[in-house]
């Protein structure tokens, strides 16, 4: 059973591309006057360094504040070890003047990179490194002519560019705003969830928004719940991404309004008996209702288990229709985890905010 369509039909998109013609579009970011209240969640760029992440949720103009301590971003242990070796080198060379000349510094850097590339974790891997100075001179090279896809290694460049261009004090802000006054607990108009590029936005933040709105005295919203992702451009996917990968978590669409990294996580358990479909839970919790899931999975007996759990999620391209196929042994220990991307990030986030508002006792009548 899907989420109420009336609460999901309004969302603000970025300029359309050829892949999404016919969908609602917004050519530029609208300016809105906020009469009644607003909520804000701030993300400092310090999260890029793997430190503890602290977000803020506050109401504006009603004298009520809510502070949300978001989940800590997983830190250095998930960064490639090569990056850690370079970080150690940078700290050592910048803190103490051990290397008096550029040549000596380059020698130290070469030794650091040699040690990093000798790490057993890279055994059997194809690795190419080429480091050039500002004048184009090659400082270090190992298989520099080997053509490789950067894959997730590009995140290091992206993170570095963000810190360089935006600075460590830059704040990515997610807001909930309205353009109508609140009278007698009734907001006679839509609510806008405005994305600011926060990559860590989760359901806990939306629930904090909903609680803050309820604390401000809002009991009924006579309008749609709209997602605004117009801060970013129109491109959702990398130009070289394979279409067959777009349902997988590592190829989630890019959006200024990204909830749960634009994926819905599933955890599966065996059904109550042999022959029954698998059971599951989702994160975000209401995410399962957002998808049109067809469960064709089967719980098998231990003797028929064969290779064990073979569950697999498939999503019909450009739609929220998802098919669950495969088998899971009735005596399977633990939970089997899978994830599937969402096709419209702003639409998804607005739907989850609608669910959070309902859980907070606020009726949405859009």
Mean pLDDT of 33-50: 42
What does the pLDDT read at residue 106? 85
285 and 296 co-located in one domain: yes
pLDDT in tens, 106-116: 888 899 999 99
pLDDT in tens, 291-349: 999 999 999 998 665 668 999 999 988 888 999 999 999 999 888 999 999 999 999 99
pLDDT in tens, 163-213: 999 998 999 999 999 989 999 999 999 999 999 999 999 999 999 999 999
Task: Pick 357 or 302 by higher pLDDT.
Answer: 357
57 and 120 co-located in one domain: no
Assessment of whether the complete model's pTM goes beyond 0.75: no
What does the pLDDT read at residue 41? 57
Return the HEC string of the chain.
CCCCHHHCCCCECCCCCHHHCCCCCCCCCCCCCCCCCEEEEEEEHHHHHCCCCCEEEEECCCCCEEEECCCCCCCHHHCCHHHHHHHHHHHHHHHCCCCCCHHHHHHHHHHHHHHHHCCHHHCCCCCCEEEECCCCCEEEEECCCCCCCCHHHHHHHHHHHHHHHHCCCCEEEEEEEECCCEECCEECCCEEEECCCCCCCCHHHHHHHHHHHHHCCCCEECCCEEEECCCCCCCCCCCCCCHHHCCCHHHCCCCCCCCHHHEEEEEEECCCCCCCCCEEEEECCCHHHHCEEEECCEEECHHHCCCCCCCEEEECCCCCEEEEECEEECCCCCCEEEEEECCCHHHHHHHHHHHHHHHCCCEECC
CATH number of the domain to which 210 belongs: 3.50.80.20
Domain count, the chain: 3
Which range is least confidently modeled, 3-12, 16-25, 122-131? 16-25
Residue 254 lies in a domain: yes
pLDDT in tens, 60-106: 222 222 222 233 233 333 334 444 444 444 444 444 444 457 888 88
pLDDT value at 28 more than 50: no
Domain hosting 327: range is 243-343
Residue 157 lies in a domain: no
63 and 188 co-located in one domain: yes
């Amino acid at each position: 059973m899907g989420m109420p369509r009336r609460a999901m039909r309004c969302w603000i998109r970025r300029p359309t591309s050829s892949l999404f013609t016919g969908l609602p579009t917004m050519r530029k970011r609208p300016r809105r006057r906020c009469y009644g209240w607003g909520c804000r969640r701030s993300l400092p760029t310090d999260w890029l360094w793997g430190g503890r992440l602290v977000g803020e949720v506050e109401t504006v103009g009603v004298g009520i504040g809510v502070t949300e301590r978001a989940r800590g971003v997983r830190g250095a242990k998930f960064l490639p070890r090569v990056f850690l070796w370079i970080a150690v080198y940078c700290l050592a060379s910048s803190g103490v003047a051990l290397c008096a000349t550029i040549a000596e510094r380059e020698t130290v850097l070469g030794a650091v990179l040699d040690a990093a590339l000798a790490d057993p974790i890279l055994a059997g891997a194809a690795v190419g490194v080429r480091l050039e100075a500002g004048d184009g001179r090659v400082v270090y090279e190992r298989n520099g002519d080997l053509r490789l896809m950067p894959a997730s290694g590009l995140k290091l460049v992206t993170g570095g560019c963000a810190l360089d261009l935006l600075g460590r004090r830059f704040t990515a802000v997610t807001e909930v705003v309205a353009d109508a006054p609140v009278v007698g607990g009734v907001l006679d108009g839509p609510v806008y969830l405005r994305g600011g590029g926060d990559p860590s936005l989760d359901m806990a933040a939306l629930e904090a928004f909903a609680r803050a709105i309820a604390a401000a005295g809002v009991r009924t919203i006579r309008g749609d719940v709209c997602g605004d992702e117009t801060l970013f451009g129109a491109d959702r996917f990398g130009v070289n991404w394979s279409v067959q990968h777009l349902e997988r978590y590592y190829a989630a669409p890019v959006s200024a309004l990204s909830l749960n990294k634009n994926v819905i996580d599933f955890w599966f358990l065996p059904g109550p008996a042999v022959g029954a479909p698998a059971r599951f839970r989702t994160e975000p919790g209401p995410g399962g209702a957002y998808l049109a899931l067809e469960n064709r999975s089967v719980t098998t007996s231990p003797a028929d288990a064969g290779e064990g759990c073979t569950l697999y999620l498939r999503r019909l391209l450009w739609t929220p229709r998802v098919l669950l196929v495969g088998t899971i042994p009735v005596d399977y220990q633990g939970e089997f985890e899978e994830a599937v991307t969402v096709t419209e990030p702003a639409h998804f986030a607005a739907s989850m905010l609608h669910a959070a508002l309902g859980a907070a006792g606020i009726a949405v009548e859009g």
